[in-house]
Chains A and B, each alone.
Chain A
Amino acid sequence: MGDYYGVNVGDIFGTMPSRFRPEGAAGIEAAFGYDIEGEGKWKLSVSGGKMYVEPVDDLSGCDVTLRTDGETFVGLNIGKVDGMQALTAGKMKMDGDFNTFAITGRMFLKFVPPGQTDKPEQELIALKRTISVNQRFATGPVMGKFLQNLREKKILAIKCPSCGRLQSPPREICAPCRVRNTDWVEIGPKGEMRMMEYCYYASPDPLTGETRETPYGAIGILLDGCKGEEVFWHLLRPDQLDKVKMGIVLGDKVVHGSRLRPVWAEDRKGSISDIKYFEMDE
């Protein structure tokens, strides 16, 4: 086994038991694989707040596997290599969700190479704070009417008196015409899928900190009654991500996407979640 930065790859695994932080593993039931090119394969099993790591030949039972070379691996562990950079540059690859693998960061104390003093030159202090100020967001009459109608399972669009453009959710003004929107039209509830953002990565909701389960689909639907760019943005039923077809307009060529219909929530409050998601209309 080779040495990188004066550190042996085996030492990193060998010291895992002594560096383990049970509190960081709370609630985790998973097997993590490490495939270190030229050095070997290791499997880390975490269950019930306990861990077990051993060299193996076969990583097929792992939930997620990290594949990299010895130098990058050691570099990651002693802080010489930035994980995101390595991943982006292709020096590190992940079989499975890289967010899952990131959890291992919480489970172990930092590896300190033997012989290195563990006092850094200057102690850098970081203050961690979560800042939260409660808000009361007004809807105003325009958005208010729209949300009220969602409660009644109706999707409304507002219409520009000048150009006839429909907007849903509605806006107080038609931006290009600079004219107050005044007329209302019911649209959908069914429509054709014109765009899908197949999201493997979810950002946390800034108000709640929650992260949506991935993968999920944020979709743009051309609801019945709408045309051109008048799409309605919402979510797709998670298990249909790979079944739907996206519509496309390219010049005068139109390819139609899957027909979708909304699935309404049982308990509706006048919010975007009154529609749970859209599903294929078959």
Chain B
Amino acid sequence: MGHKKNRHVGIVGIGETKFSSHREDVNQPEMIHEAVRQALDDAGITIDDIDCVVHGNMELFEMIHQPDMWHTIGTGAYGKSAFRLTTGGTTGGTLVCAADNLVASGMYDVVMAIGFEKLQEGHTTGGITNMADPLWARKLQSGALTDQAAVKQIAEFGPDRARRAAMTYRIIMDKHACKNPNSHRAFGLDWDQMDDLMTTSPPLIGDLRLIHMCSQSDGACVIIFASEERAKQITDKPVWIRDHITVHREETLNLSNNYYPNATTHRFAAEQLFARNGIDKPLDYFDVFEMYDPSAWWGVDWLRDFFLLEGDEHIRMVENHDIMIDGKMPINPSGGVIAANPIGATAMVRVAEAAKQIRGNAGPHQIPRPVRHGLASSFGGTMWTVLTMLEQDLNW
């Protein structure tokens, strides 16, 4: 059963820095401040209108203990209520859920959520390896890199089809990234490069090649949330948060060889969220899905989980280019995580981008059709998921 929300919450302002590999021209609070300014300007309000700041990142990358303290000089949290929540890769999504909860509760009217990362200031893969149990898995883990998704899909669909699907997905994401001025990486890949990339891109693990993997980026994202009353005062295009669900799982990574239908948090999150909101056919319902896709292999695989599909329906979506910006079900018009991944911000960027699509002002990568119902996912930890639903109108 969908819960009865105490009051509605709308997104009224969005700020995103340009994502890049080296923001050496700014320190952490300065970088955050860029996004804060953008969000405030976007909303047309000042810092005085903000009641509460919610902050998050993966602190062991930059090795700052309780960074929200130092970052006060960039966040503007001085004198305000302030929270900090961190959940690894899903942090950005968690911050959105938190801001939604905080505003919906009635405790705060206008909440500013800030997610950021400055990956170039630390060692990314080392930082991720540090999430593994020091007594065992840390000696084995290779960051967020795994071949399991490829092995699974090759076994189920055959090497040729699976590899082509992953590369098709990759090229589509790059085409979207080329339209998004904020992308970190936009190579201008074309279809005629497909065969070449599939064989020459340096392999990282098994069939997972460099070309498939997400980038490591610096960047910040800020979203301002307001109660229904305030949202309507601030903007004529608030984007409503309809519902969200967080699904984590234990740290032990099982064998993903136990093929579909297998118990992924993605599928569970989708099943629960859509059922309680009365949505039978998510593929028909949503107009855009900003999915947290750390690699092209996962991107393809998870389409089946998130849209509750069967068999090879998801692969056909990719093969038919349904997932392109002008296709039946646009996926990541922003270029997704493969194009830019400032980890603490990444999941929030998915929500920000979906919201911009609903507002109709995403920029060159705007979907050329009305976008009313948006979906955004977050990924992190040991296969965790946060799934958020956004609406143009208060239609539920």
Direct contact of A and B (CB under 8 A): yes
B134 lies within 8 A of A135 (CB): yes
B123 lies within 8 A of A204 (CB): yes
A147 to B135, alpha carbons, bound, how many Å?
9
B187 lies within 8 A of A88 (CB): yes
Residues of B close to A94: CB separation below 8 A: 202
| Residue A38 interfacial (CB < 8 Å) | no
- Residues 152-176 of chain A, each 1 if its beta carbon lies under 8 Å from chain B, else 0: 0000000000000001010100010
Q: Which residue on B lies nearest to A138, using beta carbons? A: B135
A253 CB, nearest partner CB in chain B, Å: 9
Residues of B close to A209: CB separation below 8 A: 126
| Residue B320 interfacial (CB < 8 Å) | no
Residues of B close to A85: CB separation below 8 A: 21, 185, 187
Contact of A197 among B24, B130, B147, B250 (CB under 8 A): B147
- Residues 215-251 of chain A, each 1 if its beta carbon lies under 8 Å from chain B, else 0: 0001010000000110101110000000000111111
B257 CB, nearest partner CB in chain A, Å: 6
Contact of B137 among A82, A87, A233 (CB under 8 A): A233
Q: Which of B153-200 contact A (CB under 8 A)?
A: 155-156, 185, 187-189, 193, 196-197, 200
A206 lies within 8 A of B257 (CB): no
Contact of A131 among B63, B134, B148 (CB under 8 A): B63
B129 lies within 8 A of A204 (CB): yes
A84 to B341, alpha carbons, bound, how many Å?
15
Residues of B close to A135: CB separation below 8 A: 134
B205 lies within 8 A of A199 (CB): yes
Contact of B255 among A175, A220, A250 (CB under 8 A): A220
| Residue B138 interfacial (CB < 8 Å) | yes
B142 lies within 8 A of A207 (CB): no
Residues of B close to A205: CB separation below 8 A: 126, 129, 138-139
B343 CB, nearest partner CB in chain A, Å: 15
| Residue A272 interfacial (CB < 8 Å) | yes
- Residues 130-160 of chain A, each 1 if its beta carbon lies under 8 Å from chain B, else 0: 0100010101000100010000000000000
Known: A88-B211, A206-B130. A195 touches B200 (CB 8 A): no
B127 lies within 8 A of A169 (CB): no
Residues of B close to A124: CB separation below 8 A: 24-25
B254 lies within 8 A of A88 (CB): no
- Residues 91-102 of chain B, each 1 if its beta carbon lies under 8 Å from chain A, else 0: 000000000000
Known: A272-B136, A273-B139. A198 touches B125 (CB 8 A): no
Residues of B close to A89: CB separation below 8 A: 187-189, 211
Contact of B151 among A93, A139, A195, A251 (CB under 8 A): A195
Contact of A228 among B123, B138, B155, B258 (CB under 8 A): B258
Residues of B close to A147: CB separation below 8 A: 135
- Residues 255-282 of chain A, each 1 if its beta carbon lies under 8 Å from chain B, else 0: 0000000000000000111000000000
Residues of B close to A198: CB separation below 8 A: 147, 203, 205-206
Known: A94-B202, A200-B203. A206 touches B155 (CB 8 A): no
Q: Which residue on A lies nearest to B139, using beta carbons? A: A272
A206 to B127, alpha carbons, bound, how many Å?
7
Q: Which residue on B lies nearest to A228, using beta carbons? A: B258
Q: Which residue on A lies nearest to B134, using beta carbons? A: A137
A120 to B21, alpha carbons, bound, how many Å?
19
| Residue A43 interfacial (CB < 8 Å) | no
Q: Which of A83-105 contact B (CB under 8 A)?
A: 84-85, 87-90, 93-94, 98
B25 lies within 8 A of A194 (CB): no
B205 lies within 8 A of A201 (CB): yes
B125 lies within 8 A of A203 (CB): yes
| Residue B235 interfacial (CB < 8 Å) | no
| Residue A126 interfacial (CB < 8 Å) | yes
Known: A87-B202, A88-B185, A197-B142. A203 touches B129 (CB 8 A): yes
Known: A88-B187, A124-B25, A195-B148. A200 touches B135 (CB 8 A): no
Residues of B close to A122: CB separation below 8 A: 25
| Residue A202 interfacial (CB < 8 Å) | yes
| Residue B38 interfacial (CB < 8 Å) | no
A271 to B143, alpha carbons, bound, how many Å?
21
B252 lies within 8 A of A167 (CB): yes
A89 to B386, alpha carbons, bound, how many Å?
31
Q: Which residue on A lies nearest to B256, using beta carbons? A: A195
Contact of A195 among B21, B127, B257 (CB under 8 A): B257
Residues of B close to A228: CB separation below 8 A: 255, 258
Contact of B204 among A84, A90, A139, A200 (CB under 8 A): A200
B202 lies within 8 A of A200 (CB): yes
Q: Which residue on A lies nearest to B60, using beta carbons? A: A206
Residues of B close to A271: CB separation below 8 A: 135
Known: A126-B24, A204-B126. A139 touches B259 (CB 8 A): no
B156 CB, nearest partner CB in chain A, Å: 6
Residues of B close to A248: CB separation below 8 A: 151, 155, 257
A203 lies within 8 A of B126 (CB): yes
| Residue B210 interfacial (CB < 8 Å) | yes
A90 lies within 8 A of B257 (CB): no
Residues of B close to A202: CB separation below 8 A: 142
| Residue B201 interfacial (CB < 8 Å) | yes
A76 CB, nearest partner CB in chain B, Å: 14
B172 CB, nearest partner CB in chain A, Å: 15
Q: A residues within 8 Å of B by Cβ?
A: 82, 84-85, 87-90, 93-94, 98, 122, 124, 126, 131, 135, 137, 139, 143, 147, 167, 169, 171, 175, 194-207, 209, 218, 220, 228-229, 231, 233-235, 246-251, 271-273
- 20 example contacts (A-B, Cβ-Cβ < 8 A) are as follows A88-B211, A90-B211, A135-B134, A169-B133, A169-B136, A195-B151, A195-B255, A196-B147, A197-B145, A197-B206, A198-B147, A198-B203, A198-B206, A200-B204, A203-B145, A205-B138, A206-B123, A206-B129, A233-B136, A250-B259
Given contacts A90-B197, A197-B147, A201-B204, list 13 more A-B pairs with CB under 8 A: A87-B210, A90-B196, A98-B202, A135-B134, A169-B133, A198-B203, A201-B205, A203-B142, A206-B127, A207-B134, A231-B254, A231-B255, A272-B139
The 8 closest A-B pairs by CB, nearest first: A89-B187, A203-B125, A175-B250, A229-B254, A206-B130, A198-B206, A201-B204, A203-B143
